[in-house]
Amino acid sequence: MEIRHFKSVSSTSDKAKELANAGYIPWTTIVAEEQTDGHGRKGEAWFSPKGGLYFSVILPKNSIDDLQTITILAAFKVAKTIKESFGLEPMIKLPNDVLINDKKFCGILTENIIIGDKVKLSVIGIGINTNIDKFPESLKDIATSVKIEANREIDNQILLNKILEELKNQFNTINQ
């Protein structure tokens, strides 16, 4: 599984789509230290400063139903990893958000490209507020970070590897 690191991108999912079109294979993962145009559903912005973990994975071809299942299960996998790694109690707001103490710390968005009647390309993007100390006024009551909740610095690389492993296992299970 190739992991490509970037200092700054507009959106890891846009970069993933670009690389997939250039021939990069499924499970290639794009990680960025910051996103200048991170987004959630319906184009809503995702606050993506340095410190957070922002990544997108090019998914193998799948049916639209299974892609939805994968998106939902990805939220479970993030919640499970955060619970096991930091002893926190995440809650899932289906299907795209994961919360701690009623505040969002993770957003998940699957983007598909459909041509005619077929899914040609799918990318799952996951943004996790890991080492973010402060949120803007507009977000401070609805957003939190793993660092704020666990009261310690988070190793983004270790967390990324754990989540990717979980996602891949999950995917293999669905596709066996």
Partner 1 sequence: MDNVAKIKNDRIDMELNIKIKNKEYNVKILEEGSIVKVIVGKNEYVFNSDKKEETLLSQSTSKSLQKEIKASLAGTISEIFIKDGGTIKVGQKLLTLSAMKMENEIASESKGKIKKILVNKNDTVKAGDILIALE
Rounded least distance, CB 176 to partner 1, Å: 4
Which C-beta is closer to partner 1: that of 27 or that of 76?
A: 76
Looking at residues 51 to 70 of the shown chain, list those that interact with partner 1 (rule: CB under 8 A).
Answer: 61-69
- By DSSP bridging, strand 29-35 and strand 3-9 are parallel
Q: Which region among 35-43, 47-55, 127-135, 154-162 touches partner 1 (by CB under 8 A)?
A: 35-43
DSSP 67-135: HHHHHHHHHHHHHHHHHHHH----EEETTTEEEETTEEEEEEEEEEEEETTEEEEEEEEEEE--S----
99 is a contact residue toward partner 1 (CB under 8 A): yes
Q: Among candidates 71, 58, 60, which has minimal Cα distance to 172?
A: 60
92 is a contact residue toward partner 1 (CB under 8 A): yes
CB 125 within 8 A of CB 111: yes
Which C-beta is closer to partner 1: that of 161 or that of 170?
A: 170
Binding-site ranges for partner 1 (CB under 8 A): 41-43, 61-69, 71, 73, 76, 79-80, 83, 90-96, 99, 109-120, 170, 173-176
